Structure 1
Amino acid sequence: MTEMFANTESSRRGFLQSALLGAGALGGLTNVASAADAPQRNGKSHMKLSLAAYSFREHLSRSGGPAKREPKMTLFDFIDICAGLDLDGTELTSYYFPKEVTHEYLMELKAASFRLGLDISGTAIGNNFCVPDGPDRDAQLKLCRDWIDHAAAMGAPVIRIFAGRVANGETEEIALDRCVAGINESLDYAAQKGVFLALENHGGITSTPEQWLAIVKRVKPSPWFGGNFDSGNFHTEDPYGDLAKIAPYAVNAQIKVKIGQRGSHQPADLERIVKILKDAEYRGYVVLEYEEKDPLKGIPDVIKRLRAAIRA
């Protein structure tokens, strides 16, 4: 009887494996040979919608800085707004957490999101991995470790991280080396906690796709590393073409309603941006980061456009 059961189980596993291979479904599993390799998709894009708390930066209290105004909302209010927009997720950007983040507070955010049917799609930190060795660099690395812990506690799968900027009197090559070292050290901890680190194209030494890719290609192999595609952060001659260069590496996507070309900002072609992600077979969250005035009035129409573009 035991032998027959074992044979049945073996046959079942073989059948499932053959069926999956035949359908091409195993191609959707990420096989990271090196950090420079784009994630292997399954050939079909799948996107979900989220909203970054940064969109309400004028309404939320920023941690660690002087209060410029009485906050008009809390992160719990922001979660309610995301649910009211019928989103799939909510990005709880780190800047708007209390200065001292407690486990109890993280659990309250997690519970509030879950009760409203929302994933916590991720968070973000304003790190700079280009600073020299010393107390400032130690603080940057600790910031990343702390937020890896917080993300893991909340069930947030990804943190948007920055590279940083060249320090005064130094070269970009030195900054690049420091940035890669900081990412590598942080990835060791992120892997233990099951949290992705997504490098954003965010000015500094990631101002062009070539600079961004130079970092990605030097980061050590890790299945917990990828890119954060920010549609508004390339201020180049061909920002749409440059976004297409980094889209294959994205594990998180950030959408803005303006796009920059050298010296000017123009309304973004949201449909074109979504198509870039579709062409890259991106699967994951599309997070609106609304930087214009009056977010309560402006965001619903943008979400409507993004939803239509995703479904098209």
Structure 2
Amino acid sequence: MLIAVSAWSFHAELYGGRLHVSEVPFRSYELGFRAVELLDQFLWPAPPNRLARWLGRKARVFDPHAYDRQTLLRVKMNRVRSGTQLVAWGVESDLTAAGAARDEQRRYLAQAIAAARWLGAPLMRLTLGGEQADRAGYDRAVDLLSSVLPVAIASGVKLAIENHGGLSADPQVLIDLATHFGSPFLGVCVDVGNFAGDAAEGVRRLAPHALHVHAKAWAFDARCEETSIDYAACLAALRAAGYDGVISIEYEGDGEAAAGVRAARRLIERHWRA
């Protein structure tokens, strides 16, 4: 098992302009992590420096579906220099899209897979999108994945669809998708904090199809236990299914990110050894 830290753990600093996604690998290394997960939603170009602003240069317009090559290069170079491993490239997709939006999703995902391969990520995390119990949306997702999965296989990039609300709120939908394709390149990103019901039961159901895991954390008690998630039970379910891959920390609390991700790591390490 390898513990990583997701760029989402630093979302307050990223959205606040105090940190750029290309700096996340260095920040993670400073906190003792050697594995990172980066997200394309933070891929906006760095703002112009003071001299450039004085000369009238403005920041480039950010389009999350059109990757900026200079920014990607900066991300790659900093990741290499930091000495960290990129374990996943995260994208916000809608596999249930219809019409023109569907064609845009196909283009976007092909671009994202190419970027993941170039950046050195062996896996790309996806979101399913759609609404709960939307059978037509499920069928559209199957059709879209039928054209996207061969691209991922040819690129050597695995696809992990997260339980992330919408159509994926029902674990059975993700199980059905993984079973339908039966490919080692398509599976589930199990987010222990995204289940509407019993998290441990949700993890137990999805764990056999897990290619990646998100360990959410909001707050910790005096024993360094997450106050809203039974991590002992969730990690036991993963171990029982034979999972031994990456567990990527997503700290979402109000406190300092550094303290939050360190507490989450101690929590995971303690229960994984139990």
Q: Which residue of 1 aligns with 2:31?
A: 85
Q: Which residue of 2 aligns with 1:73?
A: 19
Measure, in 2, the Cα distance between the counterparts of 1:245 and 1:195: 24
Q: Which residue of 2 aligns with 1:184?
A: 146
Paired residues for 1:7-156 under 5 Å:
47-61=1-15, 70-98=16-44, 99=62, 101-132=67-98, 134-156=99-121
Measure, in 2, the Cα distance between the counterparts of 1:222 and 1:248: 13
SS at match of 2:95: coil
Deviations 1:185-232 (A, max 9, x none): 1101111111111011111111122222222222x3433111111101
Q: Which residue of 2 aligns with 1:293?
A: 254
Measure, in 2, the Cα distance between the counterparts of 1:287 and 1:101: 24
> 2:143 matched to 1:197?
no
> 2:200 matched to 1:240?
yes
> 2:147 matched to 1:207?
no
CA shift, 1:254, in A, is 0.6
Stretches of structure 2 lacking an aligned partner (at least 5 in a row): 45-61, 220-225
8 Å Cα contact 1:258/1:268 also seen in 2: no
Measure, in 2, the Cα distance between the counterparts of 1:101 and 1:173: 32
CA shift, 1:104, in A, is 4.6
Give the letter for the 1:150 counterpart: A
One of 192, 200, 225 as aligned partner of 2:186: 225
SS at match of 2:188: strand
One of 260, 265, 271 as aligned partner of 1:303: 265
CA shift, 1:77, in A, is 2.8
One of 257, 260, 265 as aligned partner of 2:217: 257
CA shift, 1:293, in A, is 1.4
Stretches of structure 1 lacking an aligned partner (at least 5 in a row): 1-46, 62-69, 260-264
Measure, in 1, the Cα distance between the counterparts of 2:235 and 2:241: 10
Measure, in 2, the Cα distance between the counterparts of 1:73 and 1:202: 25
Q: Which residue of 2 aligns with 1:280?
A: 241
Change in 2 beyond 3 A, CA 1:135/1:175: same
8 Å Cα contact 1:166/1:205 also seen in 2: yes
**After alignment, is 75-84 or 99-108 more displaced?**
99-108
CA shift, 1:148, in A, is 0.3
CA shift, 1:103, in A, is 4.0
Counting matched residue pairs gives: 247
CA shift, 1:249, in A, is 0.8
Measure, in 2, the Cα distance between the counterparts of 1:211 and 1:155: 29
8 Å Cα contact 1:164/1:179 also seen in 2: no
Deviations 1:104-154 (A, max 9, x none): 54343233223333110101111111122x221111111111110110000
Q: Which residue of 2 aligns with 1:33?
A: none
What's the TM-score, normalizing by structure 1?
Answer: 0.73
Q: Identity percentage over the alignment?
A: 25
Measure, in 2, the Cα distance between the counterparts of 1:286 and 1:206: 20
One of 245, 269, 287 as aligned partner of 2:230: 269
Structure label with greater radius of gyration:
1
8 Å Cα contact 2:95/2:128 also seen in 1: yes
SS at match of 1:235: coil
In angstroms, what is the RMSD of aligned CA positions? Answer: 2.2
CA shift, 1:156, in A, is 0.4
SS at match of 1:164: coil
CA shift, 1:268, in A, is 1.4
Measure, in 2, the Cα distance between the counterparts of 1:88 and 1:310: 18
CA shift, 1:102, in A, is 4.0
8 Å Cα contact 1:232/1:258 also seen in 2: no
Measure, in 1, the Cα distance between the counterparts of 2:158 and 2:33: 22
Deviations 1:67-89 (A, max 9, x none): xxx50111233212211222231
